[in-house]
Amino acid sequence: MLPYENQMFLDVLHEDGLVICAKGLGLETVILNIIKVFCDPGNLVFVIGSSATEEDFWITQLKKDSIKPLPKILSADTSIAEREKIYLQGGVLFVSSRILVVDLLKHRIPIPQITGILVCRAHNILESCQEELALRLYRTENKTGFIKAFSASSQTFTYGFTKIERIMKNLFVPKLYLWPRFHLAVKSSLDKINPEVIELHVELTPAMIEIQTSLLDLINYSIKELKRLNPSLDTEEITVENSLSKCFHKILQTQLTPIWHRLSITTKQLVSDLKLLRNLMMSVTSLDSVRFQSMLLNYSSVDYVHRSSGWLLLDAAETLFITAKHRLFNSKKEICPEHNPKWGGLTEILKEIGQNSKENGEIVLVLVQSAKTCCQLKNLLVQGADTLLLNLYKTHIKDKPIISTQKNTTNEELEINENLNNDEELDENDLNNCFTLTQSKNEDGLTFTECANETRNETLKEPIIVIQQYKKDGDFLSLPRTLRELQPKYIVMYDANMTAVRQIEVFQNSDAKFKLVVYFLIFGGSTEEQAYLTTLKREKLLFDFLIKEKAVMVITKGQ
């Protein structure tokens, strides 16, 4: 463990409390070591709120360290008699809050003998009444056992009046431990070995700048309309700048969910359109010109115009549609889709790495945000930009089937799913979140070939390119695992991601065999860059708020 992880571990081990950690700082490692301490038949420790991927990760790591007995997972498939037997055997048990509540109420668990409870994702305690009930039943009959809670979602604790105080009371914990990235211990630990970072600012094309400006105007219009129609709302955080960050949907949920049933149809449609416009804004930099145009075509129907909040009738919308279409043709009106400027940057980086590579079969890890981008880059390197775009044009524009835009049924809910794009046709049935390519030189330049083996091959002289999504199958632990397994010397961050940056910093200072070279690709002066900076700024402000709350909040001793 790194020094700050060790300090985090010792703090919460010696005194119960709630640990709020910045994303990407390895909270799972701290929880792993706490579980390791209590892996003994003489203890009975429950872990609630954990995901299946986290449980698999912890059990695998404990197995490698030859820890016995290993934690057990209690699911709905485990019979009552089996559960009662397992409770008496002791050790660490991963259990759902529903099973824990039922067994506590039925007195199947010897409550006085419980050593303690570990609560993962503690920010969900107010929404999940079962976890709160389980802790209350436990604390009523057992005053000596511990409760240790963990969370990596700082923003969730800042919404609402004295929310952090209420959460701590429901968790029955007396202390609050805050671990932001700017914490002195974290800073000193991660600054010991800094990876070599090469930041490349790619320029947007004139057409992309025009599209971006149009979308910002449309978002600004929608936000102004939302505020005009709902003057009683606290819309201080509903701004154009915040609309670029990932947490924008949570801001909307916080403000609108309690009064959703009282909102007008126009307001609900404005919320829906804001989600759509934000999605389009992010797609300008992440998608190629063909897919972006294909996306827009789904919103040009008469039916959708009638249902929208009116943004399609603005001049900015007309500019958006015209410019997006012009990106597909050259001055002679021939089909010549515009290349994504990042493609050229990526190719140059791989070329440079190939020239500087000294060892055989060095691994280059290219990290992207989505599986769609992962597939796109693989096709780009194997087929070439022109062939890829022409094939996409034929599939998505020329031979595109007419899609009926049915009435949006989600207008009655405030549930924002950014990964659900009814505008993208998932024609690749084999969409993958990880590809491995080999690089070779010839007279025409570099060529790339897809291969099935992800492991390092010492016989290859040229670098091996591994293209991977930040979160494979939504697993936030996939990147640290990949870094440990592949031990790449070169990392290309194709998309900006705050959590991944920190995971790379932690890896460099803990498990890396040599100094990393990280290439950071970002569109200079774009909404992508602004969204990344806004995320960093928001997290700092949130921790500042929590530090001030910690100084003044009152927690009843011995609650």
CA 241, chain centre distance (Å): 19
Indicate the DSSP class of residue 302.
H
**Residues 134, 122: Cα–Cα separation, whole Å:** 13
Beta-sheet strands, E only, within 443-487 = 445-451, 464-469
Pairing label, strands 91-95, 175-179: unpaired
Beta-strand pair 445-451/434-442: antiparallel
Question: Given 3.40.50.150, 3.40.30.10, 3.40.50.300, 3.30.465.10, which CATH number is that of 193-202+339-390+431-524?
Answer: 3.40.50.300
Give the number of other CB atoms < 10 A from CB of residue 556. 9
Evaluated on CA atoms 276, 277, 278, 283, the torsion sign reads: positive
Residue 18's pLDDT is what?
93
| pTM, two decimal places | 0.86
Per-residue confidence (pLDDT) for residue 261, from 0 to 100: 84
pLDDT recorded at residue 408: 42
The neighbour count for residue 96, using CB atoms within 10 Å, is 18
Instruction: Give, in order, the Cα–Cα distances in Å from 315 to each of 193, 243, 322, 348.
Output: 51, 21, 11, 38
Say if residues 545 and 158 touch (Cβ distance below 8 Å): yes
Q: How many CB atoms lie within 10 A of CB 267?
A: 19
Q: pLDDT tens digits, the chain, 559 residues: what are they?
A: 899 999 999 999 999 999 999 999 989 999 999 999 999 899 999 999 999 999 999 999 999 988 888 999 998 888 999 999 999 999 999 999 999 999 999 999 999 999 999 999 998 888 778 899 999 999 999 999 999 999 998 888 877 666 888 888 889 999 999 999 999 999 999 999 989 999 999 999 999 999 999 999 999 999 898 888 888 777 677 888 888 877 777 778 777 877 888 888 888 888 888 888 999 998 998 888 999 998 888 888 788 877 888 888 889 999 999 999 998 887 778 888 889 999 999 999 988 888 877 666 788 899 998 888 888 898 888 888 888 888 888 888 765 544 434 444 344 333 333 343 433 444 444 456 677 877 776 655 667 777 765 444 455 566 788 989 888 777 788 899 999 988 898 999 999 999 999 999 999 998 888 889 999 999 988 888 998 998 899 899 999 999 998 888 877 665 5
For residues 192 and 188, give the distance between their C-alpha atoms in angstroms, rounded to a whole number.
7
60, two tokens: 């695998």
pLDDT value, residue 423: 38
Q: What CATH number is given for 3-189+543-552 in this structure?
A: 3.40.50.300
The pLDDT of residue 453 is 52
**Contacts with 200 (C-beta within 8 Å, 6 or more apart), sequence order:** 345, 349, 519, 520, 521, 522
- Residue 456 pLDDT: 46
Between vectors from CA 214 to CA 205 and to CA 267, what angle results, nearest 5°?
145
Residues with Cβ < 8 Å from 335, sequence gap 6 or more? Answer: 328, 329, 390, 393
